[in-house]
């Protein structure tokens, strides 16, 4: 039997009320259904700034809360949010601002979106679906087919990140980028799905 469950039952038998609150450092909980985003942290120093002056924290929060365009970078470790002439780079793990840019500067350096479902996307990735040794999805369409075929629910609406959930694993989810940052995105999603849900979609 699970040691944590045993300790829980033992505490109940001894009339000790066990702590049932969610730990503050938990990544996933059964009660993670609300969509309240974490508070945006704007540090006083250590932020990369390019072509922008005198921007208020409220302006940064407005860009992140209602962007016109978004994309991921740094292998999914940070997200870029663009609205008007402003671009804000935010770390995904702790929702901290690490970059403030003029939107034109940031868009010009946006990663190649080789995962777009275009006619030549397979030629650019150098792989064909179902080819010899292919175990990971080679484009966005194939990734969605594999996820949905394994029972996952994938929401992709809007320009922001969608969500991957599974009805048999309630309370857990993964973000699904509408603008993947590299052709390795399929491999990253498959690996994360295996880690979070315990389901292999290769």
Confidence at residue 129, expressed as pLDDT on a 0 to 100 scale: 53
Cα separations (Å) of 81 from 34, 51, 88, 173? 22, 16, 5, 21
121-197 under CATH 3.30.920, yes or no? yes
Q: Please list the residues that pair with 86 across neighbouring strands.
A: 83, 102
Confidence at residue 100, expressed as pLDDT on a 0 to 100 scale: 94
For 133-162, the pLDDT digits (tens) are 557 777 778 888 889 999 998 887 655 567
CATH 3.30.920 maps onto the chain at 121-197
Q: Quote the CA–CA distance of 198 and 150 in Å, as a whole number.
A: 12
Say whether pLDDT at 117 is over 70.
no
The winner for highest mean pLDDT among 31-40, 43-52, 128-137 is 43-52
Say whether pLDDT at 190 is over 50.
yes
Say whether pLDDT at 19 is over 80.
no
The winner for highest mean pLDDT among 34-43, 55-64, 124-133 is 55-64
In the three-class reduction of DSSP (H, G, I as helix; E, B as strand; rest coil), residue 61 is classed as helix
């Amino acid at each position: 039997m699970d040691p944590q469950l045993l300790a829980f039952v033992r505490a109940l038998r001894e009339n000790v009320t066990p702590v049932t609150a969610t730990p503050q450092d938990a990544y996933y909980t059964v009660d993670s259904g609300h969509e309240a985003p974490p508070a945006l942290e704007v540090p006083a120093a250590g932020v990369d700034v390019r072509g922008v002056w005198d921007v208020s924290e409220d302006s940064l929060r407005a860009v992140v809360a209602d962007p016109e365009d978004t994309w991921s970078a740094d292998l999914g470790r940070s997200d870029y949010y663009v609205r008007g002439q402003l671009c804000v780079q935010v770390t995904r793990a702790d929702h901290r601002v690490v970059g403030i840019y003029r939107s034109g500067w940031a868009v010009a350096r946006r990663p190649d979106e080789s995962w777009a479902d275009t006619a030549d996307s397979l030629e650019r990735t150098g792989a064909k679906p179902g080819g010899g040794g292919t175990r990971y999805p080679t484009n966005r369409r194939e990734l969605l087919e594999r996820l949905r075929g394994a029972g996952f629910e994938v929401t992709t609406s809007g320009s922001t990140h969608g969500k991957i959930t599974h009805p048999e694993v309630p309370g857990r989810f993964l973000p699904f980028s509408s603008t993947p940052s590299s052709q390795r995105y399929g491999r990253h999603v498959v690996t994360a799905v295996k880690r979070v849900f315990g389901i292999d979609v290769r």
